[in-house]
Amino acid sequence: MSFTPNLDKNVIWKRIRYDPEILSLMGLTGKTDLEIAKAIIKRSQYDDIVSSQKRICIYFRPSRDAGYDMWSENVFQVDVHVPATQDYIADQIQERIKKLLHKYPVNNRLLQFDGQLGELATTTGFVCIGSRFSYYSTN
Amino acid sequence: MGLKFNAKACQLALRAEMLATMEKLLTEMYMNMIADLKTPQSKMDVVRQMAKYKAGVITGQVISGAYAIMDSYGTGSLMDKSNPFLDEYKATSSWSVPMYNPIRLQKNTTAILGRPKGRYRPITGGSRTSRGRMEGLNLEEAASLVTKSGKIRASTSVKPALPSKAIQTSFDWIAKTRINKEVMRTVQNFNFARFFEFTPDGR
C-alpha cells in the first residue's frame, strides 16, 4: 500500500488504453500503438492538439491530508479534450472512464470516483471535461 | 444519578475541529490553484492566509494577485469575459492615470491595443509613460504594427493568452464538492460522547 505513483499511473493508463469502447469513442480503433500513445497520455498537455484529434490526459493532482501521518489521499485527474463540434463525445468518454475506474483495484488500493470538474481550460476550438479519482497510500 | 452535557466545552472543541477542516480545505484550494497556473510568476502571485475564528465566524483566504488573475482568466482577445473583476477593471479607464486602456473601451474590444500618449498604470502596479506611437494598433497582429512613420515593429507584438481557469476550477471544486464532504466528515468523526458526564448526585 506504499507510495508508488509510477506503477499506479501505468495501471490506470492501461485500464483506459486497452478498453475497446474508449478506443472506439476516441476514433482509435485499428490505429497503431504510437498513435494511441499520443492520444492517451500520462500528463496534462493540450497545446499541441490539432483539428479533429481527441486526447485523454491522466495525471496526478496535489495529495490531500488524510488526517494521519501514515496516510495520504492521492488524487488523479482524467481530462478529455475533444473538438467543440463533438462535445457530447467528451461526456460519453467520461462516463466510460468512471465505469472503468470507480472501485477498480490499483496495486491493492481501491479507486474512488471523486466527482467531475465540468469544463476546463483547453486549446481554441476544443472542449475539455475533467473528473477526479482518489485512493489512499501509506507515506 | 444525573447526566450532564458540557455544551461550552463541546462548542469550543467542535470549533477547533472546524478550524482544522477549514485549514485543510484552504491548503487544497491553494495547492490545486498553483498546480494549474501556467507560469512561475503567476504561481508565486498566490498567497494563502491561515484560517481564523473571529466574532462567531471562521474565515480563510487564498489571495490571487494580478499575474495569477491574468493567467487564470486569460488576456487580450482570448480572455474569459465572464471574469467577475472585468467590469471593475474596465472602469479604471476613466481614471486620470488609467489602468485599462481607454481605447479598448472605445473600440469595444478586449484585444491588446497600443496605448495613447501619456501616463498609465499597469495592472501589475507602478506607473509608466506611453509615447503613443502604437496608439490604437492591434498589438496581437504583428502585420498591423506599422507606426505613424511607416516602420513595422513586429517585435512589439503581444500574444494573447488562453485562460488556464486555475482560480475558477479550484474555487468551484472546493465550494461545490469538497466543503460539504469535509464538513460532514468532521461532524461524523467528532466525539460528542466525551462531553457527557454522569453525576452521582444528579447535579
DSSP string, B55-76: TTEEEEEEEE-HHHHHHHH--G
Q: Give pLDDT tens digits for A63-88.
A: 998 877 788 899 999 999 999 999 99
Q: Measured between alpha carbons, how far apart are the two ends of chain A, in Å?
A: 9
Between positions 8 and 47 of A, the ones with CB within 8 A of B are none
Give the model's confidence band at B147: pLDDT under 50 very low, under 70 low, under 90 confident, else very high: low
Q: State the pTM of this model.
A: 0.85
Crossing angle between the packed helical segments B179-189 and B7-36, to the nearest 10 degrees: 150
Question: Quick one: which of A55, A13, A64 has its CA closest to B21?
Answer: A64
CA-CA distance, A7 to B21, in Å (whole number)?
31
Among B24, B73, B162, B186, the strongest candidate for a mutation testing the A interface, having the largest count of A CBs within 10 A, is B162
Q: β-strand A55-65 against A40-41: which pairing, if any?
A: parallel
Asked if the model's pLDDT at residue A33 lies above 70, the reply is: yes
What grid cell was written down for A95? Answer: 462516463
* Nearest CB neighbour to A62, from listed B35, B163, B166: B35
* Cross-chain Cβ contact A117/B172 below 8 Å: yes
Q: How far is C-alpha B5 from the chain's CA centre?
A: 43
Q: How distant is the Cα of A30 from the closest Cα of chain B, in angstroms?
A: 34
Residue type, B42: S
Cβ neighbors of B185 (< 8 A, separation 6 or more) are B21
Contact assessment for residue B5 and residue B25, using Cβ atoms and an 8 Å cutoff: no
pLDDT band, residue B158 (cuts 50/70/90):
confident
Q: Is the pLDDT of residue B154 over 70?
A: no
Nearest CA in chain A to B28: A64
Contact B35 A124 (CB under 8 A): no
Do B172 and A118 count as a contact with CB atoms less than 8 A apart? yes
Terminal-to-terminal C-alpha distance of chain B: 8
- Check CB contact under 8 Å for A62 and B31: yes
d(CA B103, CA B171): 33
Contact B41, B9 (CB under 8 A): no
ipTM surpasses cut 0.90: no
Helices within chain A (DSSP H only): 5-17, 20-25, 33-39, 87-101
Interface of B with A (CB under 8 A): 24, 27-28, 31-32, 35-36, 78, 162-166, 169, 172-173, 177
Q: Return d(Cα A38, Cα A41) in angstroms, integer.
A: 6
Name every chain B residue with its beta carbon within 8 A of the beta carbon of A124.
78, 162
Q: Are strands B46-54 and B57-64 parallel, antiparallel or unpaired?
A: antiparallel
Question: What average pLDDT does this structure show over B83-103?
Answer: 91
Q: Do B28 and A62 touch (CB under 8 A)?
A: yes
Distance in angstroms (rounded) separating the CA atoms of residues B135 and B116: 5
Please judge whether A65 and B36 are an interchain contact, meaning their C-beta atoms are less than 8 angstroms apart: no
pLDDT over 90 at B139, yes or no: no
Count Cβ atoms below 10 Å from residue B3 Cβ, excluding itself: 9
Residue A86 CA, distance from chain mean position = 19
E strands within chain B?
Answer: 2-5, 46-54, 57-64, 118-120, 128-130, 196-199
Chain B: closest CA distance from residue A5 (Å): 17
